[in-house]
């Protein structure tokens, strides 16, 4: 029985799995989106969101926690200066996972995981204004 056990194993030992997740999180911070299998994207989302939450609280302790995951000062600087401020008014849900078909070789389900843009919420507000103007006419 697997009561209260979390996470996927991916057929890897603990160290290899931890290193894989760490590398995926680093790539996500560096590039903003990555193309991977659906299972890896869903599992990786937990770690990326935790690191972005660290970035929202700009303290020495938070920087050290982020560095313990990322292991690169440039990525920590990018996280705290560029990525986290865009999510200052958002309480979680910083990433989205989009299904991207199946891999040619083994038919594994693929996905694209990317940061949710704050720009996507702005056009919605503009459309609300347009609808409100139409109702006033």
- The per-residue pLDDT for 18 is 96
- The per-residue pLDDT for 55 is 96
* Closest of 24, 38, 48 to residue 116, by C-alpha: 48
- The per-residue pLDDT for 83 is 96
- The per-residue pLDDT for 2 is 87
- The per-residue pLDDT for 125 is 56
**pLDDT tens series, the chain, 137 aa:** 989 999 999 999 999 999 999 999 999 999 999 999 999 999 999 999 999 999 999 999 999 999 999 999 999 999 999 999 999 999 999 999 999 999 999 999 999 999 998 544 444 555 555 555 666 65
- The per-residue pLDDT for 130 is 59
- The per-residue pLDDT for 120 is 47
Region at 34 (left for phi over 0; alpha for psi -120 to 50; beta for the rest): beta
Domain boundary assignment for the chain = 14-136
Fold designation for 14-136: 50s Ribosomal Protein L17; Chain: A, (3.90.1030)
For every residue of the chain, which 3-state class applies, written as one string?
A: CCCCCCCCCCCCCHHHHHHHHHHHHHHHHHHCEEEEEHHHHHHHHHHHHHHHHHHHCCCHHHHHHHHHHHCCHHHHHHHHHHHHHHCCCCCCCCEEEEEEEECCCCCCEEEEEEECCHHHHHHHHHHHHHHHHHHHC
Residue 29 · residue 36 · CB < 8 Å:
no
């Amino acid at each position: 029985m697997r009561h209260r056990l979390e996470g996927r194993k991916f057929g890897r030992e603990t160290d290899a799995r931890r290193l894989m997740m760490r590398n995926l999180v680093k790539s996500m911070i560096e590039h903003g989106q990555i193309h991977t299998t659906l299972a890896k994207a869903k599992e990786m989302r937990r770690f990326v969101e935790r690191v972005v939450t660290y970035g929202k609280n700009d303290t020495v302790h938070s920087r050290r926690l982020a560095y313990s995951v990322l292991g690169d000062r440039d990525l920590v600087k990018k996280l705290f200066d560029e990525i986290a401020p865009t999510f200052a008014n958002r309480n979680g849900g910083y990433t989205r996972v989009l299904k991207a078909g199946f891999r040619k070789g083994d038919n594994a389900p693929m996905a694209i995981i990317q940061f949710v843009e704050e720009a996507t919420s702005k056009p919605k507000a503009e459309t609300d204004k347009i609808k409100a103007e139409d109702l006033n006419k």
